[in-house]
């Protein structure tokens, strides 16, 4: 989740557990601790693919965080040996903040390596968008309110209530995913499609409207389904071009890393002289933020060579009017919103730049 959400979650937990003794300081300490696992973003892992796929790695491992929680509790006890709360309560508070951070991240689509250093694929439950106001705003209001008026008995009770409310909302997102999955299965049966695998995730900033994706070899099918729909979604067929891209990417370690990280939910586009690979899980058709040129055509031989140092493919300017389209589609099943039209420019050079794949 975004940093504000994680800070508010950490603040609320520490306010509930240690607010009786620490007062407003508990909220500040918890907010700082709640963002600690994301400090790995300052590390340069080598190139764009490495930065993407090693984020939420060791710093989000439950094994690493168990050690970190133990060390932090020991250190705090050393510095403040006469604190009125017990060492067990302190450890429980720190562990709760760190573990809820990574568990909340696991509910998003990105992928969280909870069991690093084991090489199991990242956990991505994909039931909540990375920014969701309905989850964040209650936490934010409760924390700001207690910063202003203090963490007395009512303030501590408020933190418990808002943590319970946010947890119930998070659980409700699983029901939304089940609804979308059921509708996707009906659509696949109706259209006689037998995909290799499927993917379901909420559209940006809400859990009312959901993306459903089914991968079928060199094609994939995508549609939208809302809680308010009365029938399974229409599925639109889009090119994936996996077979055509494989010879050019056979020797690309970044491609193998992406396939592992995304469980193969990738699209391939030959744009000019570059094979551009898109993570279809994140964003929306027409605006997928994680795109990489992984191979380029050699001017002399005409063959494709893997790009050694991969950069992000330049993004086209975001069209924020699409959010209004998504809102209208969420409430109106008949609203015409074509996935194919949204994705029409994915095989074209980005409007903001012509290329980003040449090695330094």
3-class state of residue 328 by DSSP? helix
- Model pTM score: 0.92
For residue 183 the two structure tokens come to 């509708």
What average pLDDT does this structure show over 182-191?
98
CA distance 22 to 29: 9
For residue 64 the two structure tokens come to 């690493």
User: Nearest CA to 104 among 1, 33, 204?
Assistant: 1
User: What tens digit of pLDDT does each residue of 50-101 get?
Assistant: 999 999 999 999 999 999 999 999 999 999 999 999 999 999 999 999 999 9
User: What tens digit of pLDDT does each residue of 277-329 get?
Assistant: 999 999 988 889 999 999 999 988 889 999 999 999 998 776 777 889 999 99
CA distance 86 to 84: 7
User: Nearest CA to 49 among 245, 351, 307, 360?
Assistant: 307
* Average pLDDT of every residue of the chain: 94
Rounded to the nearest angstrom, the gap between the alpha carbon of residue 164 and the centroid of all alpha carbons in its chain is: 23
Using CB atoms within 10 A of its CB, is residue 278 exposed (0-12), middle (13-18) or buried (19+)?
buried
What average pLDDT does this structure show over 206-221?
96
pLDDT at 322: 84
pLDDT at 354: 39
CA distance 27 to 23: 8
Beta-bridge partners for 292? 277, 312
The model's confidence at residue 137, banded by pLDDT at 50, 70 and 90, is: very high
The answer to whether the CB of 317 falls within 8 A of the CB of 212 is no
């Amino acid at each position: 989740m975004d940093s504000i959400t994680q800070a508010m979650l950490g603040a609320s937990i520490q306010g509930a557990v240690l607010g009786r003794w620490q007062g407003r300081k508990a909220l500040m300490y918890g907010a700082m601790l709640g963002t600690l696992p994301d400090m790995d973003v300052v590390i340069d892992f080598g190139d764009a693919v490495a930065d993407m796929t090693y984020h939420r790695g060791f710093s989000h491992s439950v094994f690493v965080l168990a050690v970190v929680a133990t060390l932090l509790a020991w250190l705090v006890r050393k510095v403040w040996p006469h604190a009125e709360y017990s060492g067990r309560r302190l450890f429980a508070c720190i562990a709760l903040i760190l573990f809820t951070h990574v568990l909340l991240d696991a509910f998003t689509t990105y992928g969280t390596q909870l069991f690093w250093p084991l090489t199991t694929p990242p956990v991505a439950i994909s039931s909540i968008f990375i920014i969701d106001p309905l989850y964040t705003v209650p936490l934010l209001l409760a924390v700001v309110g207690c910063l202003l008026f203090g963490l007395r008995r009512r303030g501590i009770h408020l933190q418990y209530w808002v943590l319970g409310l946010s947890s119930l909302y998070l659980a409700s997102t699983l029901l939304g995913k089940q609804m979308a999955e059921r509708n996707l299965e009906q659509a696949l049966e109706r259209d006689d499609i037998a995909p290799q695998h499927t993917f379901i995730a909420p559209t940006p900033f809400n859990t009312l409207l959901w993306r459903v994706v089914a991968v079928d070899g060199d094609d994939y099918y995508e549609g939208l389904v809302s809680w308010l729909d009365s029938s399974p979604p229409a599925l639109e067929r889009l090119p994936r071009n996996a077979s055509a891209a494989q010879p050019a990417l056979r020797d690309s370690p970044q491609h193998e890393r992406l396939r592992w990280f995304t469980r193969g939910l990738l699209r391939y586009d030959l744009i000019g002289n570059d094979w551009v690979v898109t993570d279809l899980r994140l964003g929306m058709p027409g605006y997928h933020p994680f795109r990489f040129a992984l191979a380029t055509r050699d001017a002399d031989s005409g063959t494709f060579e893997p790009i050694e140092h991969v950069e992000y493919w330049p993004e086209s300017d975001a069209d924020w009017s699409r959010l209004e389209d998504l809102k209208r589609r969420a409430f109106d099943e008949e609203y015409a919103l074509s996935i194919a039209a949204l994705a029409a420019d994915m095989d074209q050079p980005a409007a903001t730049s012509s290329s980003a794949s040449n090695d330094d």
